[in-house]
Amino acid sequence: MNNSEVSPEVNAKIKKNLVVIFLFAVAMIFAGLTSGYIVSQGGSFWVNIKMPLAFKISTTLIVLSSVFLILAVVAVKKNQQKVLKIYLGLAFILGLGFGVYQIKGWGQLIDNGNFWNGQIINIKGQYGNYYSFLYKGKEVSYDNGTFYLKGEKIDSEVTSEMKEIARQFIEGSSKKKPTYNLPNYGTLFTLKYKGELVTYLNNQLYLNNVPLAIEQHSRLRYFSESIIEDRGDFIMKGKYGEDFQIFYHGKPLKYENRTFSIDGKLLSPKQMNDLNTQDNTASSYIYAFTFMHLLHWIGGVIALLVVFINGAKAKYTTNNYLGISLASIYWHFLGILWLYLYAFLIFIH
């Protein structure tokens, strides 16, 4: 039996069944990913991350896009061609917007220090681990995303000045033979390395009258990058307990005075070593979820574009709108899948 001998009803049923089978396979992929997330979460240290605002906006856009697709089906059944074009156009534009805000969400994750692959703890540039600042001779301390001077939070002007000298450190330490241009060094800010003052003379930095070693220049670069990016102890930015929180075997860690404790006890040296070398696996999973979904979104948005073009050419009628039906099934599935993923990430965090 060839295609010409198949009735339109049977042809439509076959195509819908094929779409459903494909969607079932996709659902199994994401079920495996979320299951892997849950299993990994209980294994060791884990970061609960606040979802970016762009993901919330993209969620709204894909829901509205699905709503307009539903309205489009209603319109084609009533043979309302003008309204049909508008609904299909809005569904496509909103669907396109979903992808745009998903990518913006990645940007917000990166801005907050959550990368595809990276560690939890900021070992190389951790404030005070090697380097720290004096401001007009007074110690600058750090705790939970905030710099302090004599117990008071430093103001925006001092923060700006601190970031400016950090940029000068990066410029100097990045050279093949590190040299620095620090005309105001010691006037406002002075460096300390493991408690010892770092002096400046003839475009060179010295420790105990000895020029800094290559490794010390490298550590200064990481330290300076952390200053500019508002990072002190963590790769992630923000307030601990508000923007992110670390768990160990499912139990939340308390972070106070730059120390970690669990169940009222400080982490052991081994636990701290594990934490200092632990990757931010949660962040990697978020990128994996959204990337996989975005790959399937590409097919969906192409389908929306095709049905919009066909709708604009008045190719759909009351008795022939299979293209809209198939695109709707796929797009509604993508919407439901994203709602599941977004809810999963919100509630599990």
Please write the tens of the pLDDT for every residue from 227-243: 999 888 999 988 899 89
Regarding whether 168 and 96 lie in a shared domain, the answer is no
pLDDT at 3 over 80: no
Of 198, 233, 268, the last residue of a domain is: 233
The packing angle between helices 281-312 and 81-111, to 10°, is: 160
Regarding whether 106 and 158 lie in a shared domain, the answer is no
Pairing of strands 204-207, 210-211: antiparallel
Mean pLDDT value across the chain: 92
Regarding whether 225 and 126 lie in a shared domain, the answer is yes
pLDDT at 6 over 80: no
Of 216, 233, 250, the last residue of a domain is: 233
Regarding whether 138 and 113 lie in a shared domain, the answer is no
Number of domains in the chain: 2
CATH number at residue 332: 1.20.120.80
Helix (H, G, I), strand (E, B) or coil at 304: helix
Regarding whether 150 and 126 lie in a shared domain, the answer is yes
Residues 297-312 have a mean pLDDT of: 96
The separation between CA 184 and the C-alpha centre of its own chain, rounded to angstroms, equals 37
Q: Which of 330, 288, 328, 280 is nearest to 308 (CA)?
A: 328
Could you tell me how many helices (H) and strands (E) the chain has, helices first? 8, 14
pLDDT at 8 over 90: no
Please write the tens of the pLDDT for every residue from 243-285: 999 999 889 999 998 999 999 999 999 999 999 999 999 999 9
pLDDT at 1 over 50: no
Regarding whether 127 and 79 lie in a shared domain, the answer is no
Please write the tens of the pLDDT for every residue from 91-145: 999 999 999 999 999 999 999 989 998 899 998 899 999 999 999 999 999 998 8
Q: Supply the pLDDT for residue 320.
A: 87
Regarding whether 133 and 53 lie in a shared domain, the answer is no
Please write the tens of the pLDDT for every residue from 169-222: 999 999 999 999 999 899 999 999 999 999 999 999 999 999 999 999 999 999
Domain of residue 72: give its range: 3-118+280-348
Regarding whether 129 and 113 lie in a shared domain, the answer is no
